Structure formats: structure tokens, C-alpha cells
């Protein structure tokens, strides 16, 4: 990877820094919330973070500002906000830990699979697939709903978490299918570096 000092101050990367700063702001707002308006504001911070995520991606692509620094910062900022939301909700909602365990198993499994396949077979995916993006969108929608409306009926909360688990399962299964295809291609003797879209 090629890191240059001027890349640190590209607009998309500055927006990533803003998203990282918004993480503790969200946590403080959420745990300090006393009224419905406070919870709406906490959800609003997440929405701002999501908008800047969309914005930095558009600017990076349209203005040719894609950098190696940004490739690391962008997913880091995403995962940090997701982790903050999940931790905050786990403290507030007693059965939320089940979703956390499932999410950890999924992410760790996919990470290990990706590393092994790349190291051993020189194959890797090129960015998130549509089902990964759908999964992230559903996760954010569910988290935002639970953040903005902490007083929701427990049955509704459980239903939303089941929807979230279903989206995670879809993405998990679809990614596994791609990894299996990679292995099959390798067994057929194709050894060159391949990027799967």
C-alpha cells in the first residue's frame, strides 16, 4: 500500500475522521438520553454518519480521490459505528446479545475464510456485494429504529432482531457460495490471482 501525507487530508478521508468522531458523540448522547427527543438526536447522529459515509464514497469515486488510507479508514469507521450501536443496544435490550454473538461469528468466519483463501490460493473479493450492502442497510435500519424508539414493545424488538438475523444469514450464505466457487476454480488448476466481483 502507498501512503502519502497529503492523502490524509483528502476530503473523503476528512469525512471518515468526522464519522469516527461521531461515534463517542453518539454513545454520550444515547446513554445520557432522558426524553424521546434525546433518543431522536442520537439516531440523528447515526444518520449523519451514514450520510457522510455515502458522501465520502461518491466524492472519492467522482473526483478520483480514492487512496490507500481511505480504503482502511472507510470500513474502520463503518465497523466502529456499528459496534457502538450494538454495544449501546445490548446494554439496553437484554436479548440483544444473541444478535451480537451471531454477528461476531459471521464476521470472524468470513474474515478467516477471506484470509486463508487469499494467502493459500491468491484469490480475493473486490468490495462488498449487493447482499452485503442489503445486510448492512437492514442492520442500520433495525438499529436506528431500536435507538430512536427504546420503548418499543418487546415482541416488536424481537421481531426486528429476527429480521436482522435473517439478513445476516442471507449475506453469510451468499458469501460462502462465492468462497466455495473460489475453491472449485482453484482445484481446476487456475492458479493466477483472481478478483471476484
Helices (H) and strands (E) in the chain, counts: 6, 2
**Rounded to whole angstroms, how far apart are CA atoms 170 and 177?**
11
50 plus 136 within the same structural domain: no
Radius of gyration of the chain (CA): 19
Q: Are 34 and 25 in contact (CB under 8 A)?
A: no
Residue 63 has pLDDT above 80, yes or no: yes
Cα three-residue angle 49-52-58, rounded to 5 degrees: 150
Which tens digit of pLDDT belongs to each residue from 93-120? Answer: 878 888 888 888 888 888 888 788 777 7
Residue 66 has pLDDT above 70, yes or no: yes
Within a 10 A sphere around the Cβ of 108, how many other Cβ atoms?
Answer: 10
Strands (E), the chain: 123-125, 194-196
26 plus 38 within the same structural domain: yes
pTM above 0.85, yes or no: no
Q: Are 138 and 167 in contact (CB under 8 A)?
A: yes
29 plus 122 within the same structural domain: no
104 plus 194 within the same structural domain: yes
122 plus 153 within the same structural domain: yes
Q: How many domains would you assign to the chain?
A: 2
167 plus 148 within the same structural domain: yes
* Three-state DSSP class for residue 32: coil
21 plus 65 within the same structural domain: yes
pLDDT at position 41: 95
* Three-state DSSP class for residue 162: helix
Last residue in a domain, options 92, 125, 158? 92
Which tens digit of pLDDT belongs to each residue from 174-195? Answer: 888 887 887 777 666 654 444 4
pLDDT at position 187: 67
86 plus 98 within the same structural domain: no
Q: Which domain range does residue 83 map to?
A: 1-92
Bridge partners, residue 152, by sequence: none
49 plus 123 within the same structural domain: no
Amino acid at each position: 500500500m502507498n501512503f502519502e501525507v497529503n492523502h490524509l487530508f483528502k476530503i473523503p478521508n476528512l469525512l471518515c475522521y468526522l464519522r469516527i468522531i461521531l461515534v463517542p458523540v453518539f454513545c454520550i448522547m444515547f446513554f445520557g438520553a432522558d426524553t424521546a427527543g434525546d433518543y431522536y438526536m442520537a439516531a440523528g447522529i447515526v444518520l449523519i454518519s451514514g450520510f457522510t459515509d455515502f458522501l465520502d464514497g461518491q466524492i472519492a469515486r467522482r473526483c478520483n480521490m480514492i487512496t490507500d488510507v481511505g480504503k482502511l479508514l472507510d470500513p474502520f469507521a463503518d465497523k466502529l459505528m456499528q459496534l457502538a450501536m450494538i454495544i449501546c443496544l445490548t446494554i439496553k435490550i437484554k436479548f440483544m446479545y444473541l444478535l451480537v454473538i451471531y454477528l461476531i461469528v459471521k464476521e470472524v468466519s468470513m474474515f478467516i475464510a477471506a484470509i486463508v483463501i487469499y494467502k493459500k490460493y491468491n484469490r480475493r473479493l473486490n468490495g462488498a456485494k449487493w447482499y452485503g450492502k442489503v445486510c448492512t442497510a437492514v442492520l442500520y435500519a433495525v438499529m436506528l429504529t431500536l435507538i430512536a424508539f427504546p420503548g418499543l414493545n418487546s415482541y416488536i424488538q424481537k421481531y426486528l432482531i429476527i429480521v436482522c438475523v435473517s439478513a445476516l444469514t442471507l449475506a453469510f450464505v451468499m458469501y460462502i457460495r462465492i468462497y466455495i466457487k473460489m475453491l472449485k476454480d482453484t482445484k481446476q488448476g487456475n492458479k493466477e490471482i483472481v478478483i471476484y466481483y
